[in-house]
Amino acid sequence: MLTLLDQIDQGTLWPVPGGIHPQGNKRTSNQTHIERIKLASEYVIPIPTLGQNCTLAVKVGTNVFKGTPLTEGAAHLPSHSPTSGTVVAIEPRPSNHPSGILVVSVVISADGKDQWDVNLNCEDYSTKTNNEILKRIQQSGIAGMGGAAFPSHIKLDPVSDVELVIINGVECEPYITSDDRLMREYSDDIIHGIEIINRLIEPERIVIAIEDNKPEAIKVMAKSLAKSEVLSPISRVTSVPTKYPSGGEKQLIQIITGKEVPSGGIPAQLGVLVHNVATAKAIAKAVVDGKPLIERVVTVTGESLQRPGNYWVPIGTPVEHLLRYAEYKEELGLPIIVGGPMMGYELRNPNAPILKGSNCILAPSSNEMTPEPNEKACIRCGECAVACPAKLLPQQLFWHSKAEEYDKAASYNLKDCIECGCCSYVCPSDIPLVEYYRVAKSAIKAEAQSKLEAEQAKKRFDERLARLEKEKLAREEKSKQAAARRQSSMSGKDKNAVAEALARIQAKKSTQEDDSQSKVAAAIARAKAKKLAANKSLDQNTEIESNGTQDRKENVAAAIARAKAKKLATSEANDTNSESAGNGAQDKKEKIAAAVARAKAKKLAASKSIEANSESADNSAQAKKEQIAAAVAKAKTKKQAKLDAQNSEALLSSNKSETNEVSPANENSDKKAKIAAAVAKAKLRAKQKTAAKAADEEQ
């Protein structure tokens, strides 16, 4: 039974599912030699990884030469100056991308001299190790030039053994002929690049695959391969049937080996490695001549151009400059397409630069570009599924992508879509299926990036906490070690001093604890005493209330007695007034005696009051409350006495009026009556005061 390598040696090919046969239109650009365009006045080199994997090696005002590195960093793909000149700006510029997003770019004003940098590494690679060669490939900025622009030094250093290397010269996309012309004119350089790849990979077989619609290229490459003593025994040129997209990496592997790359996998899992012919040419130039990747062949084609063809274009050249050189005649409403008509995209800004993966600029005329049809409803014909070379289900992918159900679209292996455009090409409803898939892929990628950033942020946070904890433990350990060193270096006297200090601290701490406990006990005792006093006060208030009730009864009885006494005194005063009407001298003596008696009584009351106050100062709260009650009763008695006096005066006035009516003509009798009334009034007042004092003494 023949092995896989034997079948490859015999040129056996395997069919692939799907695919279409669009019109090629390659003769528009492949009939002339590759031409070098004139220098532009300004070059724009995008640096999308600036600040992530690399830093700038230049600044505004720096003079650069052809091949001078613009970036620096250990693990990145550097960019280089495409010509000599001066850096005039480092700013965001429109990118060569379907979105037209702004990307930080280095803007170089060309001086027209196009001088190479003399510091470029041009050492002989034959004496270098494989790692040194890989390093030179990386420093030269070599990337896949078939469109993906994947770093070549990574692909050339696989983690597993590679049995088969495929050099891709199929170029199945309509209109594009850059690889065709490159193989015709630079076949020897391509073979040198393949020899370097063979040295780095050491595969068992190498296949140069070329589509059968390029007979000249097949012939030239076979001739150059025959001249290589290293490659001839293990290499062959294989003609592949013309079918789109047979130039896709996974499809080409299936055609050559009959093996299918698993979903989500890479060709290296099958022991296969694929490189583009333009990449092999760039590797040879970088390793053999020491020249970095600063230019590439670009197909400029379309009926709107007067000079279609293939051109050596420096990386960073504005597309507008390239179109102007190819004599572009603009038609209103027609787009400029980067790439081929199947996988290309519309250029948003003509000032966007040429990139390492830009292999074609298509400027179609109205004859080639029909008006964009309106999207119609899917009729579920299934033609898209038949044409899909990746054996996907485009209908389901379309429905989920349109509904923004990206997780469901991903479950249908959306990532395996190579965006070849076969489904859109055969769709009778004119649905731009690939556009929906691109949007969905971008959304899924953005979500994955957000999750990755969140995980990285959490990881950094956890690492910070761990670092802080480690530093804390280190400080504590350092303190312990320092204390141990100090203790070991102490003399006996110092140790005793430390022990005494520790004892004092411990004693002070114990004293503070005892004080705290004493304070707590005292506070508890005060609280209990306060509570007991409150209970006693409550009992006393209750007793005072009962005593107050008894006192009020006694006061009422005393008031009644005083009222009776006052009434008796009033009647006696009336009798006295009638008796003293004719005895004036005797009344005067009695008045004097009464005044003296009142003074003595007042003095005696004052002394008693002083004694009572001195005694009451030593009494308890109960005595004070009794004194207050007595004072209240006294005030009430005085008030009642005042009212009785007012009543007596009223009575005397009425008696006087009656006397005047009896003897109105006798003036002497009136005068005597007035004197008698005054005497009676004085006696009444004296008796009232005496009664009040007696009541006070009783209380």
Q: Which residues are annotated as a binding site?
A: 378, 381, 384, 388, 417, 420, 423, 427
Question: Encoding tokens for residue 246?
Answer: 């047979």
Instruction: Take residue 601 and report the two structure tokens written for it.
Output: 């009584």
Give 78-103 as a DSSP string. --B-SSSEEEEEEEEEE-SSTT--EE
Coil vs helix vs strand at 305: strand
Cα 206 from Cα 9, distance rounded (Å): 10
Amino acid at residue number 430:
D
- The strand pair at 164-169 and 272-276 is best described as parallel
- HSE-up (13 A, CA, CB side) for residue 338: 25
* Distance from C-alpha of 92 to C-alpha of 591, rounded to nearest angstrom: 126
Q: If we measure between CA atoms, which residue out of 83, 93, 90 comes closest to residue 40? A: 83
Contacts of residue 446, defined as CB under 8 A and 6 or more positions apart, other chains included, come to: none
Q: Which two tokens stand for residue 163?
A: 């049995």
CB 218 within 8 A of CB 241: no
- b/e map of 473-493 (b: 16 or more CB within 10 Å)? eeeeeeeeeeeeeeeeeeeee
Dihedral of CA atoms 670, 671, 672, 676 in degrees, nearest 10, equals: 100
Which DSSP string do the residues of 129-198 spell out, in sequence order? -HHHHHHHHHHTT-B-TTTT--BHHHHTS-SS---EEEEEE---STT--HHHHHHHH-HHHHHHHHHHHH
Instruction: Single out the residue of 321, 313, 319 nearest to residue 293, CA to CA.
Output: 313
Burial zone of 95 (CB within 10 Å; 0-12 exposed, 13-18 middle, 19+ buried):
buried
Tokens of 684: 């009444």
- Annotated binding site for [4Fe-4S] cluster: which residue ranges? 378, 381, 384, 388, 417, 420, 423, 427
CA 270 to chain centre: 44
Using H for helix, E for strand and C for coil, what is the string for 556-606? HHHHHHHHHHHHHHHHHHHHHHHHCCCCHHHHHHHHHHHHHHHHHHHHHHH
Cα–Cα distance measured from residue 67 to residue 53, given in angstroms and rounded to the nearest whole number: 20
Backbone angles phi, psi at 76, to 5 degrees: -150, 170
Measured CA to CA in angstroms, residue 605 lies from 44, 565, 598, 624 at distances of: 122, 21, 10, 20
* Token pair belonging to 170: 């199929």
In degrees and rounded to multiples of 5, residue 308 shows phi and psi of: -70, 155
Question: Measured at the alpha carbon of residue 187, what is the angle toward residues 186 and 192, in degrees to the nearest 5?
Answer: 100
Element (H, E) at 333: none
For 529, counting Cβ atoms within 10 Å of its Cβ (0-12 exposed, 13-18 middle, 19+ buried), the class is exposed
- Look at residues 120, 152, 126 and name the one whose alpha carbon lies nearest to residue 291: 120
As given in the structure block, the two tokens for residue 326 are 């190819």
CA end-to-end distance (rounded Å), the chain: 144
